Amino acid sequence: MKPTRRLRELGQSLWLDNINRELLDDGTLRRYAEDYSITGLTSNPSIFDGAIGDGDAYDAGIREKARAGKSGESLFVELALEDLRRAADLFRPVHDASDHVDGWVSMEVSPLLATDTAGSVEAARRIHRQAERANLFVKIPGTPEGIPAIEESIFSGVPINVTLLFSPEQYLAAAGAFLRGIERRLEAGLDPRVGSVASLFVSRWDVAVRDRVPAELRNRLGIAIALRTYRAYRELLASKRWRKLAAAGARPQRLLWASTGTKDPDASDTLYVEALVAPDTIDTLPEKTLHAFAERGTFTGAMAADGGDAEAVLARFAQAGIDVDALAVRLQQEGAQSFVKSWRRLLQRIADKSAALTSAR
């Protein structure tokens, strides 16, 4: 049995951390679903920047929309949603069969709204309405300003993928926003079944400390943080507060492992996938990582629900001078800044292509 299939049977979903038009047009995404048990996907500004810039697959669409008067963000959103609707339709059977737990795709609100609560809420509503797909998450960063936007969006019935989480504390803040949104829906007599996932970024921890710790600690911090967060996740699902909501029909906000591609060339390219095996979670894999794990991935069991050796490992990082609380804040801020940079580069690329394509005969 393929290792990807084994993960699926254990209760972990595998989602592709990529989307582009070629994957859809040539049937690759469908093959990933059939051969590698892929049951959803995520996108972000960096992914679309590469997809639109690295070829001509989007040129006809850009030309058509630009000549119709579209530009900037509105043009990009239409392009992106064309792809994401097709992907959502491909995963719709999984979505229906899993009672809406699985089979999702994701679309990001503008990263420029990371500190704009009201703007994020409105953008999430607009994107979800425009997408016209029940299995599309709108991604809102779990920044301090994003937390109230997440709560309000859940209350409004918009499914949310909380992105840019780096620590158990940030995860619990996002989970709290989800719970409050669901509780408000129940108080208002609304359906509590609003989907959500909370995305914890893993490998960026190890990139951040690579040159600051002894060799024996390299590539261990991200996994230790993930273990600590998984413990918090299991504790929340066992809490009286959550059990009350579940009894009323609410679905859990699943924990999602993001940034699971290995960045260290000296480390195994399946390092994080094998370490993050856990039921009731999602692992998002770049294509390179997906192929590597499908071909030679191995694992012996699931993560320890109690966090395993996370605290002992984190104590060693503290001894090495790593302040994980301060680093979590920095990583979230840097992640938000990185998405802004990608967003601006993406919009500039679209503007340049629009100008060139509309002036060409």
Query: What does the pLDDT average to over 211-236?
Result: 97
Residue 360 has pLDDT above 70, yes or no: no
Take residue 262 and report the two structure tokens written for it: 């290995």
CB neighbour list of residue 222: distance below 8 Å, 6 or more residues apart: 202, 203, 204, 205, 206, 272
Q: What is the pTM of this model?
A: 0.96
Q: Which residues are catalytic?
A: 139
* Distance from the first to the final alpha carbon of the chain: 54
Distance of alpha carbon 272 from alpha carbon 252, whole angstroms: 24
Query: What does the pLDDT average to over 144-173?
Result: 98
Q: Which among 219, 286, 329 has a CA at the least distance from the CA of 46?
A: 286
Distance of alpha carbon 178 from alpha carbon 153, whole angstroms: 9
Query: What does the pLDDT average to over 102-113?
Result: 96
**C-alpha dihedral, 277 to 94 to 197 to 230, nearest 10°:** -20
> Is 277:287 a contact under the CB 8 Å cutoff?
no
Q: What is the pLDDT of residues 249-278, one digit of tens each?
A: 999 999 999 999 999 999 999 999 999 999
H and E: helices and strands count for the chain: 16, 8
3-359 to CATH, choices 3.40.50.150, 3.40.50.10490, 3.40.50.300, 3.20.20.70: 3.20.20.70
pLDDT above 90 covers a percentage of the chain that reads: 92
CB neighbour list of residue 249: distance below 8 Å, 6 or more residues apart: 191, 192, 193
Query: What does the pLDDT average to over 308-333?
Result: 98
Distance of alpha carbon 263 from alpha carbon 207, whole angstroms: 7
Q: What is the pLDDT of residues 24-55, one digit of tens each?
A: 999 999 999 999 999 999 998 888 888 887 78
Q: How much is the mean pLDDT over the chain?
A: 95
Cα angle for residues 203, 154, 229 (degrees, 5° grid): 30
